[in-house]
Amino acid sequence: MTLTLNTTLILPEIIMLTMACVILVLDAYLPKNLKNLTYQLTQGTLIATAILIFATYPEKSELAMNGMFVNDVMSTILKLFILLIVFLAFLYSRQYLQDRKLLKGEYLVLGLFATLGMMIMVSANSLLTIYLGLELLSLSLYTMVAINRDSQQASEAAMKYFVLGALASGMLLYGMSIIYGVTGTLDLNAIAQAISQTTEHKTILVFGLVFIVIGLAFKLGAVPFHVWIPDVYQGAPTAVTLFIASAPKIAAFAMLIRLLADGMQSLHGDWQNILILLSILSMAIGNIIAIAQTNIKRMLAYSTIAHVGYLLLGILTGTKDGYAASMFYVLVYTLMTVGGFGMILLLSRAGFEAERLEDFKGLNQRNPWYAAVMLILMLSMAGIPPMLGFWAKWAVLAQVVQAGLVWLAIIAVIFAIIGVFYYLRVIKLMYFDDAEDLTPITANTDMKIALSANAILILMLGLMPSGLISLCLGALGVN
């Protein structure tokens, strides 16, 4: 592949950057009665970018910006899912933010810049590009957590997130600098070639690898680098929690694939052992501590930690089938998560946060349809067959068994069974407890339609998962 600028490949990123800047300036001059235009332009930007990405669907891997940017099938699919999830996140959050006077141009622009950072991470083919995308995403998220300046809890969460995030970024950058020092290049393909040919600097390379994995583990929220997740999820406004919990996980998965699979596949024996440890700890801590939570945002935070453990199972196999299984898992996870937090936003209203598990009591009495939506989401997250979440867990467990790590699959199944309890608890509260709050559930029509479609999509994909599985296999080049 010839090295060239090939700027047509980065046109979606250029459009996203341009529109984010235009919306930022335009919002500053819009009169109050036209502020809704900012939201419409933001959603329009996401749709236009998705159409452009879909229209330029690549038949083969292509490089741009002198090899720093790669456009392949995996990056295209992940970008489309990121844009879909961000679109839903803004749609679900709209009424919630309006009720709290937080639907500002700054919030939407930060969301667009974070999305741009995710898109850059997904297509990164250089250590430098990965780091630039990661920092653009991270700095946007830190600010979004603190968007409610009157909330001491949100400010505290943002400070924790920023301090720990800066520490993790420093470790990641230190690991990258060691890899660069040994290989003499920032290009991931060249790094892979250099590592496969060298034998004398193995110890130094592993040393750099450890720091890179630490940085990656923090961004994913794997144990023992998970301490920021429960506090940030609980402290941030629910709309921000929804954003953080969903689309960035797709970008973090892409970063794992680019760094470990594309750049350091030759060191698989070393990073596999680290990921096994992180996976077991994440599944254990996430599922066990979630049982004790009474705040549903905090419960879903520990649920996220557990899901990260399962996500790592496919990656640690070191095979394309394993990577495809993890890709399938992360896409399923984001669809479930955006719906789960969407339900919390739906039950919230001005002056009331539906954060406690008790707030879901008697939901079936208040609105049977929304109770059914939450039922689908909880059963899928729990991995109950034939829900979509079951097939996600099945996919990664099958690859672990295929790799000869049967004992690891058994451990994963045990913790999955433990994890079923706290999801079923939500279902019990909805269907078997009397409602404490009989206030009618009100929401915008677009949110009602989108949330219903979200749950139906999860249900239908659970009944017919082969299409999405085939898409993930094709993205990783598995015939």
Residue-wise pLDDT tens digits, 190-200: 998 988 887 77
In a domain, 300, yes or no: yes
In a domain, 204, yes or no: yes
Percent of the chain scored above 70 by pLDDT?
99
Cβ contacts of 236 within 8 Å, gap of 6 or more: 144, 145, 154, 157, 158, 244
Determine contact, residues 378/300, Cβ cutoff 8 Å.
Answer: no
Work out the average pLDDT over 301-330.
93
CA angle 326/81/471 to nearest 5° reads: 55
Measured CA distances, 408 to 261, 330, 404, 411, 469 (Å): 21, 20, 9, 5, 23
Position 1 confidence tier, pLDDT thresholds 50, 70, 90: very low
Q: Domain tally for the chain?
A: 1
The amino acid that residue 75 corresponds to is S
Position 479 confidence tier, pLDDT thresholds 50, 70, 90: low
Give the pLDDT of residue 89. 94
Could you report the per-residue pLDDT of 205-217, keeping only the tens digit for each?
A: 999 999 999 999 9
Q: Which residues pair with 295 in a beta bridge?
A: 356
Determine contact, residues 245/328, Cβ cutoff 8 Å.
Answer: no
- What's the whole-model pTM score? 0.94
Question: Quick one: DSSP state of residue 260?
Answer: I
Q: Look up the domain containing 198 and give its range.
A: 15-475
Could you report the per-residue pLDDT of 384-409, keeping only the tens digit for each?
A: 988 999 999 999 999 999 998 999 99
In a domain, 200, yes or no: yes
In a domain, 9, yes or no: no
**Strands 69-71 and 62-64, sheet pairing:** antiparallel
Q: Which residues pair with 63 in a beta bridge?
A: 70
Cβ contacts of 11 within 8 Å, gap of 6 or more: 52, 56
Cβ contacts of 419 within 8 Å, gap of 6 or more: 286, 287, 290, 303, 306, 382, 383
Work out the average pLDDT over 145-151.
87
Determine contact, residues 309/280, Cβ cutoff 8 Å.
Answer: yes
In a domain, 5, yes or no: no
Give the pLDDT of residue 356. 87
Could you report the per-residue pLDDT of 100-117, keeping only the tens digit for each?
A: 888 888 999 999 999 999
In a domain, 453, yes or no: yes
In a domain, 119, yes or no: yes
Q: Which residue has the tokens 């159409």?
A: 51
In a domain, 98, yes or no: yes
